[in-house]
Structures are given as C-alpha cells and as structure tokens.
A and B are shown apart, each in its own frame.
Chain A
C-alpha cells in the first residue's frame, strides 16, 4: 500500500511540476520591459507623494519644468529655456510648444500657474511647498511664458523645480480635484493600470515631446522579497529591477546574464545626536564621538562595502574630499583626550533605528555601538517599526538616531530645514547655530556658482566640526538588468527616467 501511495504521490508531484512549469512560460512581448521592485508606489499625486517608489513611478508619467541629468545639471523638460533676472528675484520660463499631456492637450502657462498655486495652497499638503515659499506671484504674459516673481533672491528654487514634486498637471484636472486619481501627465509613459502593492502597466506616450521611446511599455510587478526578485531575474521572468538591499545587489554580478548598475546616491547615512540632551550638548563629547568612529569600517561591515564615506554635502558639484574634514580618520587617542577634556566620564544613551529602513540600519547601529564602547559610551539600540520611528524622529524624542535622510541636488533645500534658525525640522536637529544660519542665507541669495560652492563648503566644515550629527556614508542606488536590456543611465537622484533610453532585445 505504501508503495502505491508513494508512487501516486510522486506522479502527482510530477504532474503538478509540469503544470506549474507550463504556467511559468509566459509569452514574451518583444519591446515591453518587465520590471520588478519590492516596494510599490503609495499614491499618484505628484505634489504630495514622497515615497521613493511613488517618485520613481511618477517621474515616468509627469514632467516638471526642468529636469536634472545624470550629472545633476539642469536641463529642459516642459520649459525649453529659462532665465534669472540680475537680482535673482524674477525667474522666467519659456515652454516647449511640443509639450502635450497624454490627453493630447498642449501644456500651457496656465497649467504651470495652476500647478504651482496648487503646491503653494496649504490645503494640498504638498511635499515641496517649503521650497517655493519665496514665490510671490506668477505671471503668464502669453501661453508659452511663465514669470515667477520672488520675494527674496532664491537661486536654489530652480533645482527644486526639477523635482517631480513640482510636476506640471493640467489646470483642468486640478480644478476637477482629480490629480491624485487620473495620473494625467506629459511624461514619456502613460499609466494604464495600477493595482496597489501588486502591479503597474505603463505604455509609451506616442505624443511625448522628448521623442520616440525604445520600448512599447513597462510592466511593473511588486515582488516584496528581493531574493525573489533576483530569482525572477535569473529565470528570465523580469528584465529590469530596482534593488534596495546592498546584500542582494552584491549577488547580482555573480549571476550569468545579469548586470548591476550602481549610482552613488544623494541620500546619506547619519548618526543624529540630540544636542538638546546631556551630555550631547557638550561639543567636546560630540567631537570625541566623531573621532571615535571608523566610517569606512561601518561601510565594510554593515553595508557589505557598498558605499562611500561622505560629509554633509553629497552632491558631486559641492562635495569635498572627506579626509579633509574634521576628524574623519578614526583617532581613538584624540577621542579619549576630547572626552577627558569634556569632563564626561563615559555615559549611556539610547539610539533609535528603523527596522529595514534602510535595510542595514540595525547592523549600522551595532557597529556604532561597538566603536563607541571604545571611549566608554554605552549605546542601547532600540529598533522601531518605520512609522513608529518616523513619529519619534519627528518629535525629536531621541538621544541618538541612526537615519538615512534624503539628499537634494542643492545644499540649500537639503539642509535649510534642519540648520537654519527657522527651519521646519529644527525640533529634529535640536541644533541652533548662527554661523550655519547666516551661511545658508548667503548661499540662497548668491547667483555666482563658484561662490556658492565656497559658501556651502564653509558651511560643511563648520557643521562637521560642531558635530551635531555624525555623517557616515552615502550608499548606492541599484538597478539590475538582464543582458537583453541596454541603454539605461542611472542617476544620483535615483530616477528611472533613464528608462526612456532603454531598448529590449
């Protein structure tokens, strides 16, 4: 009896395997890119979304006035040209006459005006609103010209306008209140289907002003487990994927037929200290901590070597050689001296970190724990679910926090929230410093690019020396692709706009 049973079971298994194998052999559409990511977009409103995946999706559907290329230069998008007035208080855009929304209507100055008014309207809760507060009024002398009148000289506003949070939506959709549901943009792709946390179907926009695309569309699947994404790439079920976990990313090059794209990101990993609490209010203690940590070894241990030591300025045009920054080489003797000088004889503090965000947060906290123990600091690690962490972080209710904070292509919008005296997130940084404040304001008004770099490097040097936070590393953003995909150009902003150049064999 047992024998028959085994045989029946085995043949059943064989049939089932055959069945499931048959089901895997999905028909391959030549020019549709099959893409996978582990976290899905959380919404379709370009003005309010901040989640990484949402931005990546919306960048394919909507367009801002200008865009940043892979070197972070401002290049045309909806606007074909732009000009600042001498005093940097008027910014004039000329729109590309070919720019059309996917419903066939031309993008006009009225759409631009309506979009920015929507962003500035408090009731919208727009994510980028704080970057545009200097806009006093918007003039539309003709259909193709938009003039922004600014209350103060504001140079970084141009870079802020390159973000998808400043996307141009049709005035008619804004009036109808349907921006978050229709996803009607002027971008390279049109969203056909969105099943949240499951999949998206995008088709190429034939009317896109940017030219013809190399693919007919993109089918995005949400595969929450990144090792499953790797398996799917390996089996040829996925052509292109976004990878967050450096550990998974390092496995990609070992696979035949797969390629890994790496781009150093603007986001930074940081140990935020709370200078409002003892003994972190003592600058010597903070400096001692900065000297005690070995940033490269944190990268090697926690990030599997996938990252680069960084100071506060992560954007290539502004960044300085990290080794020139205060105590960026581990120096335990100096750290102990500074501790002794501070009069603090070791202490215990709690560091918060979010589970899985970034994926190596816990590891990072553990390495920091071990390194700081060397100078008599005992760290207790408190891991929190992301939402709980965000809540605690926003209240500034922590001794220290392991964080990964988003970067911007310009230092001003990146740090004005934390380190100007009226910054929105001053209660997160808990740090007021008049030197930082005045340098920030100077950098905001300066129109000469070289002078701006000098100002912000001075800002960086002062910030690192005061050590309210300990900047650690930038990590890479990764995409993986099969050999049949070519032409993708990664960008430090993480955008997938490079998919417009992609072809699939």
Chain B
C-alpha cells in the first residue's frame, strides 16, 4: 500500500516533466499554426494580419506565459481548446480513446492467444524441426513492418474477396458490438502479428530457462504429467518476462498505432497526435501526449503489481 502511494506520488512529477518537454519541443520545430493553416500563402499576410492570427491562436505571448497559463488550466482539468476541432482537447481525446483502447486490447488478446501457446510449444520441442519453424515464423513476424502487413491485408482482401475493412469512421462497441469488432479485427491482426512474434520468442526462451530449473526436475521425478509440469509448474514462472513485454507493448498501443490507424483510416489517438503535430495544434499535441504518458504510467504500475501476483517471492515495497 505504502509502495502504491509512493508510486502514485511520483506521477505528478513525471507528468510535469513530460508537459515541459512536449510544450517546448512542439514550439521548437519550425512553422506555426499560421503556416500550417495557410501554407505558402502565409507570405501574403501583412504584419497586422499576422499579429491578429497569432493573438487568435494564443501564440503572441512569451512561451513561459503560455506554459503557465496552460498549466493553470490543467489543474482545473482544462487541457485547452483544440484549434482544429474548435472543441475542448479533453473531449476530443476521450472521443478517440475507446477505439485505441479496444484496438490495443484486441491486438494483445490476439498476440497472447497465438504467441504464448506457440512459445511454450517451441520450448518443449527445443531444437527440433517444429521449434525451428516456430522460430523462423517469429523472426519473420518481428521483422515485417506493420505497414507491409496492413497494406498487403487490404490488398488481398479487396482484390481476392472484394471486401475492405470499414474505414473512415468507427462504430463504438456500445452502438454495435459486432460491427465494432469486425471493423477493428484486421487492424488488430496487423498489430497483433508482430506483437505475437515477440511474445512467442520471449515465452519460448523464458520457458526454456524455467524448464531447466531444479524444481521442474523434482516435479517430474515425483511423477507429475508433462502437461501439468508445463502449465502448472513452469508457466507461471515463465510468465514474468511475458508480462513485462506485454505491459510495455500495451502501453505503446495505448498511445495509438499511428501507421496502422493511417492505413485503415481509423480515428484513433495515433492519428490524432499526428494530425495535431502536422497542423501545429499545440493544445491538442500537449493534451494528447500528456494523456498518453498518464496511461503509460498506469500500465507500468499494473505490470509491477502483476509481478507480485505471479510470483509471491517478489514482494512489492522492497522489504523482505
């Protein structure tokens, strides 16, 4: 409990650091909302026009004034107003988040359902041909970029089956669960592919480690069936690196999968940030990055708590 409180206390500090970083870095890249909006036509503006626009976008003040003004709003739960959407940043984010969360969960489910059994299977067949095949597949999965898989999927589906995943808009789970799952299925497969490959590799090597431990030999010699040895005795211990990997990957996925969202035209967090950056919507970039950082912290905390649940020897809080 003490540990949890300590961890939670560090959150504001980390987020403050992130906020400064993102605030400064988005302003450091050349171009502004004015050039993003007008392109080369911005050169046709008179000085007075330029000032009027700068005041409209709130970029006429010194950076630190802008920052503290934004920070003050933050404490009141106000992330600012997006200039692209002309709506509060928080509303825009919360509208996009369900898709990103659902996509992340679906990809992780696919990855674990495929990767874990394959990894365990390969470990039990160590150095045999079936192990080799799994390892090659895993290598292939890890080294094929997302966009290749995504584009190939769309291509094959549309050319050979005459279907394309519904693109452009997202049907939320609450409106039509079937349509919602259907729409995210192929993007989730695309993301889950590489994710599954990493899970396979990690679970295979972790399993191999555990299988050579003394207690496994003991269990075997006591006559436990090989199924029970693998699934009851070995797996829980082999899971720790898998949980670490999944946690990190899941954290990334919650930040939006830019490329896959782009290819499948899904309005998720990844594209939100990308559009916000290219259109220099400062408030939206800041708000979204902060939101993503917060999610990452939560996921990390959950991963740490999961360790303790998996292995009673790991006692959270550091005291033995």
Contact = CB atoms under 8 A, between A and B. Distances in A.
Contacts of A26: 166
A291 interface: no
Given A24-B166, A199-B168, A387-B35, A227 B154 contact: yes
A176 interface: no
A221 B169 contact: yes
A51 B182 contact: no
Contacts of A197: 84, 267, 271-272, 275
B83 to A, nearest CB: 9
B86 interface: yes
Given A20-B186, A129-B46, A388-B29, 12 more contacts: A36-B168, A48-B38, A222-B168, A227-B154, A228-B167, A231-B158, A385-B29, A390-B31, A390-B35, A390-B42, A405-B40, A424-B43
A405 B185 CA distance: 41
Interface in A27-52: 36, 42-43, 48-51
Interface in A135-153: none
Interface string B89-104: 0000000000000000
Main secondary structure of the interface of B (DSSP, over half): helix
Contact of B182 (A2, A22, A237, A386): A22
A122 interface: yes
B52 interface: yes
Contact of B49 (A123, A196, A232): A123
B117 interface: yes
B168 A387 contact: no
A125 B52 contact: yes
Contacts of B294: none
Interface string B24-64: 00000111100111111111111011101100000000000
A225 B37 contact: no
A130 B44 contact: yes
B278 A387 contact: yes
A19 B181 CA distance: 8
B121 interface: yes
A390 B182 contact: no
Contacts of A127: 38, 41, 44
Which 6 residue pairs are nearest across A and B when measured between Cβ atoms?
A387-B31, A221-B168, A23-B182, A20-B182, A231-B158, A125-B49
B178 A125 contact: no
B162 interface: yes
A231 B275 CA distance: 23
A9 B113 contact: yes
A450 B37 CA distance: 38
B37 A232 contact: no
B159 interface: yes
Contact of A224 (B48, B155, B161, B262): B262
Contacts of B168: 36, 198-199, 221-223
Interface string A442-483: 000000000000000000000000000000000000000000
B216 interface: no
Interface in B131-181: 151, 154-155, 157-159, 161-169, 171, 178-179, 181
B168 to A, nearest CB: 3
Interface stretch (A302-310, A325-333, A391-399): A391-399
Contacts of B278: 385-387
A49 B279 CA distance: 13
Contacts of B235: none
A259 to B, nearest CB: 18
B144 to A, nearest CB: 17
Contact of A232 (B29, B38, B39, B167): B167
Interface string A1-27: 110010001000000110111111010
A199 B49 CA distance: 30
B203 interface: no
Contacts of A221: 167-169, 265
Nearest to B179: A23
Contacts of A406: 40
Interface of B: 29-32, 35-46, 48-50, 52-53, 84-86, 113-114, 117, 121, 151, 154-155, 157-159, 161-169, 171, 178-179, 181-183, 185-186, 227, 262-265, 267, 271-272, 275, 278-280
A94 B275 CA distance: 43
Contacts, number: 184
29 contacts: A9-B113, A16-B182, A19-B185, A20-B182, A23-B179, A24-B163, A24-B165, A24-B166, A36-B168, A42-B37, A48-B38, A50-B37, A50-B41, A124-B49, A124-B52, A125-B53, A127-B38, A129-B49, A198-B267, A222-B265, A228-B154, A228-B263, A228-B264, A234-B162, A234-B164, A235-B163, A385-B29, A385-B31, A387-B280
A456 to B, nearest CB: 21
Nearest to A390: B35
A56 interface: no
A425 B44 contact: yes
Contact of A231 (B84, B154, B169, B179): B154
A234 B40 contact: no
A391 B85 contact: no
B114 A9 contact: yes
A9 B115 CA distance: 12
A50 B181 contact: no
Contacts of B50: 125
B111 to A, nearest CB: 13
Contacts of B275: 196-197
B158 A234 contact: yes
A220 to B, nearest CB: 9
Greatest chain B CB density within 10 A among A48, A199, A228 is at: A228
A262 interface: no
B30 A24 contact: no
Nearest to A396: B43
Contacts of B36: 42, 387
